[in-house]
Structure 1
Amino acid sequence: MSEPWLITLDIDGTILHEDGSISDAVIDQVARLSGLGHEIMLATGRSVAATLPVLDLLGITPTYVVCSNGAITLQRDVDAPLGYRREIVETFNPSAVLQQIRGHLANAHYAVEDEEGYFRYTGEFPSSSMGVGGEQVAFEDLLSIDATRVVVISPGHDMEDFLAVVEKMGLHRVSYSIGWTAWLDIAPDGVNKSTSLERVRSRLGIPSSRLLAVGDGRNDIEMLRWAAVDGRAVAMGQAPDDVRAAATSVTASIYDDGLAKALAALV
């Protein structure tokens, strides 16, 4: 195809259902667009190890993949053990922000992901959030790790309470997004999906008028705004209002094949 689009897809809640399945309609649309020469890539909060299997499920091998909410950008490399190498890795020292958050959320659980995708965490963490593995450690052991991502969950808060607490923190030295539950993702300062995707777009030489981004979570807001400037930004139907507001259009929910419908509109 003479004019390929760059199609950037979130994973959880956009591609994958809660049980880890992908609808046949999504797989068919991805195959169709790939066959037409479009570049379909993933942009996710997941670690590298938790992202690469999704490429296999979709049957795609994009040039780039964005993981850890933009902190890690992978580049295709057939000589690398898993077919991709870490092209760009952005880390930060999490000590100050962890101690700041702990002052507001004394009973929260904390995890730090390093550039290899290994998690060290306090309290209880869902195993599905971890990549290559993890270990439970004391809070103090988290403070000296070079982090690509910090995750905070606060089981004692409902979403509105958690949002109120986060607003009081004034996290100005890091980028952060809030998940569906009382879940906070923290990335290096100024890093999010859109910062890495803009770098990818420039390297691929695809104009901003040929962008399509699809997502459902608050960590997708910057990505949707990035695509919306000149291209298309689609929020999933079950997305929160602030995510929907960042998009140029809203598709059906994941339960009604919203992603497949959004991809089918690109002809």
Structure 2
Amino acid sequence: MVLATGRSSATTIPVLDELGIAPRFLVCSNGAVTLHRDPGGYRREWVESFDPAEVLRSIRAHLVNVRFAVEDEAGRYRYAEPFPPATTGLDSEQVQVAFEELWDRRATRVVAVSPGHGLDDFLAVVEKMGLRRVSYAIGWTAWLDIAAEGVNKATAVERVRAELDIRRDRVMAVGDGHNDVELISWGAESGRGVAMGHSPVELIEAASEITGSVHEDGLAQVLSTL
């Protein structure tokens, strides 16, 4: 089993402790950081980073009152304006800096939040930006996650699959969010790509199977078929 999440590594490991699981590999930050468990705990195995300067300037030119946070490979965030509470992890892992200081080092992810936009309006603005040389995923609200070009949960999980030498027709991917589209498409290509019942339309269209919603224990339903 591999847990693939949009959470940073710093905020994911405590969740594993609560769940009582310890997968060998852990995909964080929407695929930008993959951790490997060894006797000493989790260490960073693969990290995909990029120069965030161009994308930060581009988004700020298109969106008014947007708030930015930039994540490093350890899961620490720097932000320019106050961020919604409890969205990027522990306060101890964050520091506020001037906007121009957000691009003075490489990033694993840029997060942009635009509180004044509804999701549909936000999507329309993002499409007009024509973001290049990056990958991006839209959250449930006006929330944009930006990573290095070609980096997403699917690329990271495929790397883990190859490392473990598991056949493609033996994989199953389950997800429920906009940032799972590539992962579910990857699973559906040769194996099983399963969308939770409460998933957005884009994810359901990418899936080869649909399971129950989270309130119906949909993940348990599909795991019971293994």
Q: Separation in 1 of the partners of 2:125 and 2:87?
A: 23
1:165 is the counterpart of 2:91? no
Could you say which residue in structure 2 is the equivalent of 1:212?
172
1:48, 1:131 within 8 Å by CA — same for their partners in 2?
A: no
1:113 is the counterpart of 2:113? no
2:10, 2:75 within 8 Å by CA — same for their partners in 1?
A: yes
Q: Separation in 1 of the partners of 2:190 and 2:31?
A: 21
Q: Residue 7 of structure 2: SS of its match in structure 1?
A: coil
Could you say which residue in structure 2 is the equivalent of 1:222?
182
1:102 is the counterpart of 2:60? yes
CA RMSD of aligned residues (A): 1.2
1:252 is the counterpart of 2:212? yes
Q: Separation in 1 of the partners of 2:75 and 2:20?
A: 23
AA at the equivalent of 1:91: S
Q: Separation in 2 of the partners of 1:217 and 1:242?
A: 9
Q: Residue 180 of structure 1: SS of its match in structure 2?
A: coil
CA deviation after TM superposition for structure 1 residue 161, in Å: 0.3
Q: Residue 229 of structure 1: SS of its match in structure 2?
A: helix
Q: Separation in 2 of the partners of 1:202 and 1:254?
A: 30
Q: Residue 57 of structure 2: SS of its match in structure 1?
A: helix
Q: Identity across aligned pairs (percent)?
A: 59
1:75 is the counterpart of 2:36? yes
Equivalence map 1:142-161=2 (5 Å): 142-161=102-121
Residue correspondences, number: 224
Q: Residue 129 of structure 1: SS of its match in structure 2?
A: coil
TM-score, normalised by the number of residues in structure 2: 0.95
TM-score, normalised by the number of residues in structure 1: 0.81
Deviations 1:144-169 (A, max 9, x none): 12100100000000011000000101
Q: Separation in 2 of the partners of 1:110 and 1:145?
A: 15
CA deviation after TM superposition for structure 1 residue 53, in Å: 1.8
Q: Residue 131 of structure 2: SS of its match in structure 1?
A: coil
Unaligned residue ranges in structure 1 (runs of 5+): 1-39
1:112, 1:145 within 8 Å by CA — same for their partners in 2?
A: no
Unaligned residue ranges in structure 2 (runs of 5+): none
1:141 is the counterpart of 2:104? no
CA deviation after TM superposition for structure 1 residue 124, in Å: 2.6
Could you say which residue in structure 2 is the equivalent of 1:29?
none
1:235 to 178, 192, 195: 195
Deviations 1:187-223 (A, max 9, x none): 1111111111111001101101111111111110111
**Larger CA deviation: 131-140 vs 42-51:** 131-140
CA deviation after TM superposition for structure 1 residue 50, in Å: 0.9
Q: Separation in 1 of the partners of 2:96 and 2:117?
A: 22
